[in-house]
Amino acid sequence: MSRTEVVVYANGELLAAAAAARLVTRIVDIQAAKGSASVGLTGGGTGIAVLRELKESSARDAIDWSRLDLYWGDERFVPADSDERNEKQAREALLDHVPLDPKRVYAMAPSDGEFGDDVDAAAAAYAEVLAANASADGTDDGSGVPAFDIMMLGLGGEGHTASVFPDSPAVHDTGHSVVAVRDCPKPPPTRVSLTLPAIRRAREVWLMTAGEAKAEAVSLALSGADETQVPVSGARGYRRTLWLLDRTAAGKLTKVYQTPNA
Ligand SMILES: O=C1O[C@H](COP(=O)(O)O)[C@@H](O)[C@H](O)[C@H]1O
């Protein structure tokens, strides 16, 4: 059975620090239980702030970084050295500072990588990586997507998550795990993204966001809005969906949620 939980923090800084602490605990518990853990990373302000907090935390040494598989929920299809790239931001914030096994860091291709500017090929290649890993780790249910332990995601004020935007081809795609995304309303316009069905292969989805601009989308998603109009509504973990919000992002919720020190 899947459960939804909402935790509200006083501000975005506290949210990022608390999410980083939560991530350490969860990864350590998962590694203790089954040897290794898999985590999907997100771009965006809050997602990168969480990684920065983790880098600064001495508790990060509790994680066995060599037994961690890292994926991305989406990537901006730009050159490898572009500051807009989610992977580059994640590396600077955390990944370059911890002893990861480079073979277990599964980045999506940049626009100057092995597939050149062919974004469809980049998406197809990532789908192949997911399928190979799902088969290797024994979690393939026929979808070709591993059962990620934790998928971290952000969201946009218009309701996008990963790079799945409202009423876009990606949100209507139920036949692929990874898609090329063009003409994004938010720049950069070309991206690679997991689809909603692939996201739902995660045991836990953590939706993390701060700011008043996100309040409407948060409220719509938690009221069960149609995922084709509010894609984040369809981002659910099959065991748990955890919303980590600051007070302003939670500002349009009518129900009272757990609010530590908020
Ligand atoms: O472009 C993106 O935006 C979203 C949300 O970012 P935010 O800065 O508004 O929090 C993010 O989830 C996604 O990974 C990223 O590519």
Does residue 45 have its Cβ closer than 6 Å to ligand 1?
Answer: yes
pLDDT at 131 > cutoff 90: yes
pLDDT at 8 > cutoff 80: yes
The pLDDT of 205-217, averaged and rounded, is 98
The pLDDT of 35-61, averaged and rounded, is 98
- The 10s digit of each residue's pLDDT in 11-22 is 999 999 999 999
pLDDT-based confidence at 7, cuts 50/70/90?
Answer: very high
The pLDDT of 117-128, averaged and rounded, is 98
Q: Give the bridge partners for 75, in sequence order.
A: 192
The pLDDT of 110-119, averaged and rounded, is 98
Distance 32 CA to ligand 1 centre (A): 31
Does residue 86 have its Cβ closer than 6 Å to ligand 1?
Answer: yes
pLDDT-based confidence at 258, cuts 50/70/90?
Answer: low
**3 CB burial (10 A radius; 0-12, 13-18, 19+):** exposed
Does residue 193 have its Cβ closer than 6 Å to ligand 1?
Answer: no
Chain mean pLDDT for the chain: 96
Higher model confidence: residue 59 or residue 255? 59
pLDDT at 256 > cutoff 80: no
Q: Where are the alpha helices (DSSP H) in the chain?
A: 12-34, 45-56, 86-93, 119-137, 169-172, 196-199, 215-222
Distance 129 CA to ligand 1 centre (A): 23
pLDDT at 192 > cutoff 70: yes
Give me the pLDDT at residue 208, please. 98
Give me the pLDDT at residue 5, please. 95
Distance 56 CA to ligand 1 centre (A): 22
Confirm if 89 and 45 have CB atoms less than 8 A apart: no
Give me the pLDDT at residue 120, please. 98
For residues 155 and 176, give the distance between their C-alpha atoms in angstroms, rounded to a whole number: 21
- Best residue for ligand 1 mutational test, from 155, 179, 206, 248 (most atoms within 8 Å of Cβ): 155
Taking the CA of residue 153 as reference, the ligand 1 atom at the shortest distance is: 12
- The 10s digit of each residue's pLDDT in 156-174 is 999 999 999 999 999 999 9
Give me the pLDDT at residue 259, please. 72
Percent of the residues in the chain that have a pLDDT greater than 90, as a whole number: 96
Please state the pTM of the whole predicted model. 0.97
pLDDT at 260 > cutoff 90: no
Distance 198 CA to ligand 1 centre (A): 18
Q: Which residue, by CA, sits nearest to atom 2 of ligand 1?
A: 44
What is the CATH number assigned to the segment(s) 3-246?
A: 3.40.50.1360
For residues 47 and 121, give the distance between their C-alpha atoms in angstroms, rounded to a whole number: 26
CA-wise closest residue to 239 among 157, 172, 147, 171:
147
Q: Give the bridge partners for 37, in sequence order.
A: 68
Give me the pLDDT at residue 262, please. 67
Q: Which residue, by CA, sits nearest to atom 3 of ligand 1?
A: 44
pLDDT-based confidence at 255, cuts 50/70/90?
Answer: confident
Does residue 211 have its Cβ closer than 6 Å to ligand 1?
Answer: no
Distance 76 CA to ligand 1 centre (A): 10
Does residue 34 have its Cβ closer than 6 Å to ligand 1?
Answer: no
The pLDDT of 69-87, averaged and rounded, is 98
Distance 35 CA to ligand 1 centre (A): 31
Distance 156 CA to ligand 1 centre (A): 6
Q: Where are the domains of the chain?
A: 3-246
Taking the CA of residue 191 as reference, the ligand 1 atom at the shortest distance is: 16
